[in-house]
Every structure is written in C-alpha cells, then in structure tokens.
A and B are shown apart, each in its own frame.
Chain A
Amino acid sequence: MSDMAGTNDARKPFVREAPLAALPPPVRTDGVLAWLQRNLFSSPLNIGLTLVCVALLVWAVPPFVRFMLIDAVWDGASRADCLVTDARPAVGACWAFVIERINFFTYGFYPTPDRWRVDLFFLLLAVGIGWLAWLDAPARRWALVNFFVVLPIVSFILLVGWPAIGLPVVPTEQWGGILVTIVVSVVGIVFSLPLGVLLALGRRSTMPAVRLVCVVFIEFIRGVPLITILFMASLMLPLFVPDTWSPDKLLRALIGIALFASAYMAEVVRAGLQAIPRGQYEAAQALGLSYTRTMGLIVLPQALRITIPNIVNSYIALFKDTTLVFVVGIFDFLNTIEAARLDPKWSTPVTGSTGYAFAALFYFTLCMAMSRYALYMERRLDVSANR
C-alpha cells in the first residue's frame, strides 16, 4: 500500500470530498414487468436463455396439445376410426382405443361376473391407504393393523376366492392389468416394511452371525439388477422347492419383488435408526427395558416417524419397478398395453403412442401423488421438530 501511494501524486489520502449524488429510485420493484425483468431478462445471457426456452416451448407444446386433445379421436369402434382419411387429415391420440379396452387394462382376463371383487378390493385399498395417510384420522392406531394385517387377508380371500363362502377361485393366470400392478405393488409395500425393519435391526445387531447374514443379504440384493432377481425367482425358485409345490407364476414374481423391496427398505430404515441419538438407547436401558421393548417402544417409533418421507420415496421407486414383472411374463398394466397395442383390431400408427400416453398418465398421477405426500410429511415433520 505505502509504496503504491508514493508512486504518483498522492501524499493525499483517498478521501471523497463531495458526497455522491443519490441514485435514482429503482424504476419498478413490483408488478408484472418488474417480475419479468428480474426473472427473465436480467442480463444478456438470461435474455438469450429465455428466448431459447420460449422457442423450445413453442416447438414442443402446440403439437403435443394437438396430438393429445385437438386431433384426438374420442369415439370409434375399430382401427378404421383412427386412420388418416381424406375427411380427417390429421389423427391424434386414439382415445377410443383406450376407452374400448379400459376393462382389459383394469382387470386383464378376470372373469366378468367376478369383477365386482376387484372393484371391492380397490375400494378397500383406497380406504386403507386413506386412513393410513390421513394423519388426524379417527382410531389411527388401527389403520396400521388394518393395512398390514386385515387388508392382505381380506384381499387374498376376495381376489383368489374361497368356494366355501361362495367365491369361486380365480386362477392368477386370469389376473391382469392395473389389478396385477396394484397387487404386486401392495405386496411389495406390505412385506418390505416389516422385513426391512428386521433386516435393518439385524444389520445393527451386536451378534456377528446375525449381522453377517443381514449384510450379505442386503448387499447381494442391492448389487444385482431387479431383472436378474425376477429371473432367479421365476426360473430357479421352482427348482429349490419340492416338485409337488410348483409355486404359481405370479407368486414367484411377488417373492422376488418382496425380497428386492425389503433390502432397499432395510437401508432406508437403517438411516432412520442411525439418526436416533445414543442417549435414547441409554435412557431406555437405564429404565431396564429389554431389547424388544427398547426398540419397539422407544427407538423404532421415532426412527420410523422421521423416515416416513424416505419410505414413501422408496415406495415410489418400487411402484415404478413393478413394471419389470413384464419381463418374466406377468400380465401387468404395461403388458396389457403392449398386448392391446399389437392387437390387429386397433393397429394404427397412433395406437402405440396412445397406449403409452395412457400408461404414462396412470404412473405419473400415482407417483406424483406419493411424492407430494412425502413432501408434505417432510414439511410437517420439520415443523414439529422445530417447535
């Protein structure tokens, strides 16, 4: 500093002698224009980016809307209604195809007179989930018991059948569509949580053999793709059991999915367990609680509570992964779309896109609903933690 001051004309320190003129007030601080300027046109780079984005939207959105809604065919009986003709130069999505096949997409080949059973199952499931997800619901303690114990038993009787009470047996080969997708997801959801909790506890156990078994199981399942697990379940499982058992095809896939989901759930739960301060364990021990009581009354309720958002997120992943049962020949929702798409009755250039658009709508709505719920829980937990 000092030698710089010595170089040119300044024995004088740098001191401003007259005050600066006041800056003019900002032109706009609120209103639409100010918002636009601040968020879209604040610098040359941003102006360029904005223009690129607008161009992209103009290029993509109108054709999309035209395909999905404006040019779409809403009623019709066969492919002829969705083909390009002179009278109809542009054909968008063939929704008539989806409308005609909606029962097939929902129930697969489930016998028509028994479809009320599937409807009832959907209804019970919706009530069960609603009861569980609504945090201020009455008798919420029973919602868990209902969802994890009562609902699976009732659903099994309802869907598979029980001739003794007048419900004829429907073999799983006839199940299909959304029914199978939902069944696979729910089985994954119902079994993965308890199994995942057990595995997570086992992984943190002080008993070396227990820990080793859990670590090997979790790391093995997480290290291989779900497809290979499904292959293993559908091809190797029948070899592992006596010939007379020959497990049902859907059951094999369900076992694969449940094992896969529980390994991932174990890691989610473990993260929750690790977040519980050591003092909680020690306090429980000081009160003389046994291991089961420490875990069941003190640690797990807290750990699972803070893990709810992550549990829901892993359910989203599981729900998307259920599409893979397609590969081992289970007739899930995506598979019914593929089958219907290839059906000559409706084979047009737009049938495939329409089917995929419908599937996308279905998966997107449900995944989005789950992720919003996870977000809501996260906020709510944040608030209660900061109280």
Chain B
Amino acid sequence: MSIAATARPRTPLTHNPRVRSVVYQAVLCAIIAFLAWGAISNVIENLTRTGIATGFGFWNNTAGFEISQALISYSAASTYGRAFWVGLTNTLLVAALGIVFATILGFVIGVARLSSNWLVASMAGGYVELVRNLPLLLQLLFWYNAVLKALPAVATSVALPGGGFLNNRGLYLPQPIAQDGAGIVLAACVVAVIGAIAFRFWARARQRRTGAQAPVLTTMAGLIVGLPAVALLATGFPFTFDYPEASRFNIRGGMELLPEFTALLFGLVTYTAAFIAEVVRAGILSVSKGQTEAAASLGLTSGQTMRFVVIPQAMRVIIPPLTNQYLNLTKNSSLAVAIGYPDLVQIFSGTVLNQTGQAVEVVVITMAVYLAISLVTSLLMNLYNRRVMLVDR
C-alpha cells in the first residue's frame, strides 16, 4: 500500500490553520470593538447625566490656584494649559537632576561593591539591600515627614557654612546673580564643551588612521575647566551672590529649595542609585576574566585595563538597563503627589482634575506625556543598541 498514491484527505475547515487564525483574530477584534463601544457609550451617558463638560476647552480657562514652584512665569490668573507646562517642567527638572546624581552615586556604590576592601564592599552591599527592599513611597514619606519636617523652625534655622540656611520650610542657598560679562563666561563654557567633544572625535579619527594616541582625558578636562576659569579671571568674576537673610519669621532673598523638592530629589537619587549600582556591578562582572588577564599579559597597567578593556565592554551591558532605570526614575517622580511637590501628576491629575472634573481628558493627557517620554527613550535606546551591536561579532 502506498501512501503517496492516495489523495491527500481534505481537512475540514475547522482544522485549517489559516482559517482558524483568521477566525481567532476576528473574534478578538470583535471583543475589543465591543468593549470599546460599550465603554465609550457609557462614558457619554455618564457624562451627560452628571453634566461634566467634555473636550479640551478647559485648557484655556483660568486656573485660579497658586503653584509653589514654577520655572516659567505663572500666577493664579494663568490658564490650565500654563499650569500643565509648569508641572511638566517641574517633573523634567527633578528627573534630570535625579538622573545626574543617581548615576554618580550608583556608579560609586556599584564599584564599591566590587572593592577588595571587605568593609567597603559589605557596606555598599548593605546599602543596596536596605534601599532596594523598602518601598520608595515609604522612603519619601520618611525623608519628608520625619527628617525635613522635623528640622528647626524658621526662627532657629540651621546656618550652613557658605551663607545658607536650613529649616523646616526648605533649604536656602546664596543665589548667583550675573553681572556684565557673565555672558562671556557662559559662552566660554559652551565653547569649551563643544571644543572638548570635537577634540575627542578628532583624536579618535587620528588614532584610527595613524595609531597615534592623544591625551584625550586630560585635554578634555583642561578645556572644560580651564577655558571658563580663564574667562572668569579675564572678566573679573562677573557674579555677585544674593545671600539669604534670616529674620525672626522669614528668610528673604537667596535661592529657595522647597522641602518637597529636596525630599523627592533625595529619595529618588538614593533609591535609584541602589538599582544603578546593581546594574554597574553586573556589567563589570559580565566582562570575562580572560579579558583582564589578556590585558595584563599585554602589559597594560590596571588603570589602563579598566579604561581600555573592561569599561568599554561593560558599558555595552550597562547602558540598556541603565536607561531603564532612568525611565523608572522619571516615572517614579510621579510619587511627588504623596508629599506635595508640584509635578505633572500633582498639578494636573490632582488639582486641575479636581477643579474641572474632566477625568478622562486629564488622565489621558498625563499618560500621553509619560508614554511619549518612554517611547522616545526606547527609540533612542534601540538606535544606540544597533550601533553598539554592529561592533560585536
């Protein structure tokens, strides 16, 4: 009996994979469409019943509330739209500063965990374990309520060296005020950074072409520190400081950091740094021992081994999860709402939502902002990954 000779049996339609796949997908789409239709019709019905306005008309209405910290001009007479931008800039401010400080602290602790010094390594390990196993919200409440709010009142402010004050209303620091010629110093800073980056590119290209190395790090550091310093001296230090002055009930002048801001920044930095430390440690450990040994047998010093062999390879492992941590920090900054720092969520999903009652529009806008930040970051990450992976075999 030969199998090849018999005609292929007709499979019933219900067993045809293609038909099945189409049916499944159609059913799924139908279910989603049904749910969406139900939700939308319910929303319309509920809103008309309660008489809440719909649409984005509220954007241009007067907000009528004050915001304790605004990077752009804002008053109670400004619009809800303006309040949105204030919240967004406040979120971006705390996220940007948090990322910088968390990176520095995280790298230090990550390297410390690998130290040959037992005490350093175990203290860094203890820090990471402690911080990672406590909820961020608890840490923020602790810093805000138990530490910053427990500071002395205005009348008995703690005077800091250098002319600052610390009390339960915040941290007051001297504010630099630009005089004539400050523009030149600023320009010098910009030129120095651009020059340093250009030099690095040139040095890289030359090394690839000729093999000759240039002292990249020292030159870059020299440029970035030296040029502004020269400009400062040449223009005769064009800054004066506005020192805060303490009186019995108030502190005038200077630069004020809200306790909410300080607590949020501090909490985010210490929390994220613990996660970054783990990322850094894993990255460094991922470089195989053979690489270090090969570098040693080539006669590189331990510093050179780190700089030219270990770190470039570790960075490839570190950068993707590091970006993830940056995104987490940005998203976690929304916990500001619990301690009253005026970030996007607190202003927009809090005050604006309560005043307008337009939950759908407000929550959708807030989510869209975070989603946009996340998607743009992951897009950049994918581009970076593709570039780095090309180097790999």
Q: How far is the CB of B53 from chain A (nearest CB, A)?
A: 14
Q: What residue of chain B has the Cβ atom nearest to residue A369's Cβ?
A: B133
Contact B120 A231, beta carbon cutoff 8 Å: no
- Note all chain B residues with C-beta closer than 8 A to A240: 38-39, 42-43
Q: Quick check: B374 and A224 within 8 Å, CB to CB? A: yes
A228 contact set on B, CB distance < 8 A = 334, 345, 349, 363, 366-367, 370
Query: Binding site of B, secondary structure by majority: helix, strand, loop or mixed?
Result: helix
A223 touches B363 (CB 8 A): no
A56 at the interface (CB under 8 A from B): yes
Residue of A224, A320, A352 with most partner-chain B CB within 10 A: A224
Of A42, A56, A224, the residue contacting B116 (CB under 8 A) is A42
Q: Measured between C-beta atoms, what is the minimum distance from A41 to chain B in Å?
A: 9
Verify A50–B119 contact, CB threshold 8 A: yes
Within 8 A of A (CB), among B362-378: 363, 366-367, 370-371, 374-375
Number of interface residues of B (CB under 8 A): 54
- Is A208 in contact with B25, judged by CB distance below 8 angstroms? yes
Q: Is there an interface contact between A363 and B119, defined as CB atoms closer than 8 Å?
A: no
B-contacting residues, A102-150, CB 8 Å: none
| B322 contacts the other chain (CB 8 A) | no
Are A227 and B25 in contact, CB atoms less than 8 angstroms apart? Answer: no
Q: A39 to B374, Cβ gap below 8 A?
A: no
Please choose the segment from B4-12, B138-146, B233-241, B310-318 that sits at the chain A interface, where 4 or more of its residues have CB less than 8 A away.
Answer: B138-146
- Contact residues of A between 316 and 330, Cβ < 8 Å to B: 316, 320-321, 323-324, 326-327
| Residue on A nearest B333 in the bound complex, by CB | A225
- Check A223–B29 contact: CB distance below 8 A: no
Q: Flag the segment in B44-52, B58-66, B196-204 that touches A.
A: B44-52
A368 within 8 A of B: yes
- Count contacts on A: residues with CB < 8 A to the other chain: 56
Let me know if B77 is at the binding interface, CB within 8 A: no
B137 interface residue (CB < 8 Å to A):
yes
User: Which residue of the partner chain, among B29, B133, B150, B331, contacts A224 with CB atoms under 8 Å?
Assistant: B331
Task: State whether A359 touches B371 (Cβ < 8 A).
Answer: no
Are the CB atoms of A224 and B371 closer together than 8 Å?
yes
A39 CB contacts on chain B under 8 angstroms: 116-119
Question: Which chain B residues lie closer than 8 Å to A232 at the CB level?
Answer: 363, 367
Cα A39 to Cα B119 with chains together (Å): 8
Q: Is A241 in contact with chain B by the CB < 8 A criterion? A: yes
Within 8 A of B (CB), among A191-230: 206-210, 213, 219-220, 222-228
Q: How far is the CB of B87 from chain A (nearest CB, A)?
A: 13
Q: Is A338 an interface residue (CB 8 A)?
A: yes
Contact status B43-A209, CB under 8 Å: no
Check: A243 CB closer than 8 A to any chain B CB. Answer: yes
Task: Select B138's contact among A209, A225, A236, A323, beta carbons within 8 Å.
Answer: A323
Q: Which of A207, A227, A371 contacts B335 (CB 8 A)?
A: A227
CB contacts (< 8 Å) of A220 on chain B: these are 371
B370–A320 touching, CB < 8 Å:
no
Verify if A65 is at the interface (C-beta below 8 Å from B): no
Task: Indicate whether A353 reaches chain B with its CB closer than 8 angstroms.
Answer: yes
Which residue from B29, B49, B130, B337 sits with its C-beta under 8 Å from A243?
Answer: B49
Picked from B39, B137, B142, B349, the residue with its CB within 8 Å of the CB of A324 is: B137
B335 proximity list for chain A (CB < 8 A): 227, 324, 327
Beta-carbon contact of B134 and A235 below 8 Å: no
A326–chain B nearest beta-carbon distance, Å: 7
Q: Which residues of A contact B (CB under 8 A)?
A: 39-40, 42, 46, 49-50, 53-54, 56-57, 206-210, 213, 219-220, 222-228, 231-232, 235-236, 238-243, 316, 320-321, 323-324, 326-327, 334, 338, 341, 349, 352-353, 356, 359-360, 363-364, 367-368, 371
Apart from A241-B42, A371-B133: 14 A-B pairs, beta carbons within 8 A: A207-B21, A210-B24, A213-B32, A226-B331, A227-B345, A228-B345, A240-B39, A334-B135, A338-B141, A352-B146, A359-B138, A364-B130, A367-B133, A367-B134
**B residues apposed to A, CB below 8 Å:** 21, 24-25, 28-29, 32, 38-39, 42-43, 45-47, 49, 115-120, 123, 129-130, 132-138, 141-142, 145-146, 149-150, 331-332, 334-335, 337-338, 345, 349, 353, 359-360, 363, 366-367, 370-371, 374-375
21 contacts between A and B (CB under 8 A): A40-B118, A57-B123, A210-B28, A213-B28, A223-B374, A224-B370, A225-B345, A227-B335, A228-B334, A228-B366, A235-B359, A238-B46, A239-B43, A239-B359, A243-B46, A326-B338, A334-B135, A334-B138, A356-B141, A356-B146, A363-B135
